[in-house]
Chains A and B, each alone.
Chain A
Amino acid sequence: MTKEDIKQVVLDIIADIAPDEDLSAVKSEVRLRDQLSLDSMDFLDIVMELRKKHGIEVPEADYVQLASLDSCAEYLFPKFQAKGSK
């Protein structure tokens, strides 16, 4: 899975948890909270969906890594790679 694929995974999750948001122009480098109406419960939803759908665990200390699509991709890439190699 490429980093671009991972960004799409996160966008797909956001589309599900924030269905009123227009995701067509989300900027990868900008904090998601600065461009979308997302609160702390929504970020917990992202964590939960990563766990449920992809078996990816994000420890609480690392939640900050989910700030933007770019940081999500950087942080999650090795986790998805580890899942893929198993």
Chain B
Amino acid sequence: MSSKTRIVITGIGLTAPNGNSLQEFRGNLLAGKARIAEIDVRHMGRHPAGVCDFDATKWQKRKELRNGTRVGSISIYCAREALGDSGLVWESVDKSRVGVYLGITEHGNVETENEIHNISQFGFDTKYWTHHHNPRTVANNPAGEVTMNMGITGPHYTIGAACAAGNAGLIQAAQMLQLGEVDLAFAGGVSESIHTFGIFAGFKNQGALGAHVDPTKASRPFDKNRNGIVISEGGAIYVLERLEDAQKRGARIIAEIAGWCINSDATDAVLPNPERQAECVRLALKRAGMRPQDIHIVSTHATATALGDIQECTALREVFTDCPGTYINNTKSFIGHCMGAAGALELAGNLPSFDDGWVHPTINIDELDPECALPGLVINQAVQAPRLEAILNNSFGMLGINSALIVKKYGVA
């Protein structure tokens, strides 16, 4: 297979705190509707978080839910919904040629904390530690649960990529399709991180956990008074195929993967490096054969931390000079930070712009931070744009992992 093999998106399934389908999610993004609630976090009291309310029993038996993980359930829901969206006749698909590639920020914290809590009720006697622990916590768990639920016998694994994971899952799938390893891929990112107090405590003690009297305003990237991350759960899984395969079966082509880049800061475990971020974006553009002016929406990663937002703006300001047709938005202002699912969800929420002509805003900006005042930033209200044909989706993560994924409207040169 040539690296020039074209890869297209033919199905999307998702669950976000403010939507359990792309249509519902998109509607709320255009309407400016956030959905963040306060939840009880073990040992920590109440904190804002993004909680998904999809019907887990739609695609799973109750026993599967009992034995599996929350993120496995999110993955199954998203994969099944993506399959339905793709129009594939599942019975006639060769399951040995299907791959599952899911990005995760972390996995196993939830299950391990639960078991430690469980045995704490029994004097920390490990004979009460569940035998389900290992299958629940192996790193491939969410992807493996999808294969078991759907009877997929091709490859499956997760891609651990901190908060760049959603993009990384899609990139991995595109590469495997180009290599001919599989003919069809379910790919994206998933997260169950709201169920682990360790993530909350880690961010809180880092001074990076968002809070606000109104939980729906707690996630406020680019606002001068932002105070940190709102942790959320969620998932977005795409059906990816080689263009010729999609055409052969007469699939509805939602968009085309145009280019990508993943690189590393190699500087600090938590502080982002705008120079490397800008390099990442530039290389993705180069691989896509595009100029900055060809990008019409930049879907930012910004998580509402004091420094991280500024660093990303610094990187974008350097790359996107003289780009009057480029709009910039942020999805975390609506749904918080969906961790491993963030990149995949944030891209999904922007994809309908190719058809509806709108750019959803970044909400919760009461006072724009001057250091984040990028030209083209869509603030609080959706805007209509004359031309929307390419999206750059940024996702960055700890240990200095940067990812940029470019998706374009199918049929555009």
Contacts and interface: CB of A to CB of B under 8 A. Distances in A.
Interface residues of A, number: 10
21 contacts: A17-B63, A17-B66, A18-B63, A19-B62, A19-B63, A19-B66, A20-B61, A20-B62, A20-B63, A41-B67, A41-B131, A41-B132, A44-B131, A45-B131, A48-B128, A48-B130, A48-B131, A51-B127, A51-B128, A52-B122, A52-B128
Interface in A8-53: 17-20, 41, 44-45, 48, 51-52
A17 B67 CA distance: 8
Contacts of A48: 128, 130-131
A84 to B, nearest CB: 21
Contacts of A17: 63, 66
Nearest to A16: B66
Interface of B: 61-63, 66-67, 122, 127-128, 130-132
A19 B56 CA distance: 15
Given A51-B127, A52-B128, 14 more contacts: A17-B66, A18-B63, A19-B62, A19-B63, A19-B66, A20-B62, A20-B63, A41-B131, A41-B132, A45-B131, A48-B128, A48-B130, A48-B131, A51-B128
Nearest to A18: B63
Contacts of B62: 19-20
Interface of A: 17-20, 41, 44-45, 48, 51-52
Q: Is the interface of B mostly helix, strand, loop or mixed?
A: helix
Contacts of B132: 41
Contacts of B122: 52
A55 to B, nearest CB: 11
Contacts of A18: 63
A52 B123 CA distance: 12
A41 B64 CA distance: 12
A20 to B, nearest CB: 5
Contacts of B128: 48, 51-52
A4 to B, nearest CB: 26
List the 8 closest pairs (A to B, CB-CB), nearest first: A19-B62, A20-B61, A44-B131, A20-B63, A20-B62, A18-B63, A19-B63, A52-B128
Contacts of B61: 20
B67 to A, nearest CB: 7
Nearest to B125: A51
A3 to B, nearest CB: 26
| B61, B63, B132 interface centre (most CB from chain A within 10 Å) | B63
Nearest to A44: B131
Contacts of A19: 62-63, 66
A57 B122 CA distance: 15
A82 B127 CA distance: 21
Contacts of B127: 51
Contacts of B130: 48
Nearest to B64: A20
A19 B62 CA distance: 6
A17 B130 CA distance: 13
Contacts of B66: 17, 19
Nearest to A40: B131
A51 B118 CA distance: 13
A23 to B, nearest CB: 13
Nearest to A57: B127
Contacts of B63: 17-20
B126 to A, nearest CB: 12
B332 to A, nearest CB: 36
B411 to A, nearest CB: 46
Contacts of A45: 131
B30 to A, nearest CB: 39
Nearest to A52: B128
A29 to B, nearest CB: 25
Nearest to B62: A19
A11 B131 CA distance: 20
A30 B250 CA distance: 52
Contacts of A51: 127-128
A37 B67 CA distance: 14
A52 B131 CA distance: 14
B369 to A, nearest CB: 50
B119 to A, nearest CB: 10
A2 to B, nearest CB: 28
A17 B131 CA distance: 13
Nearest to A38: B63
B300 to A, nearest CB: 43
A41 B131 CA distance: 8
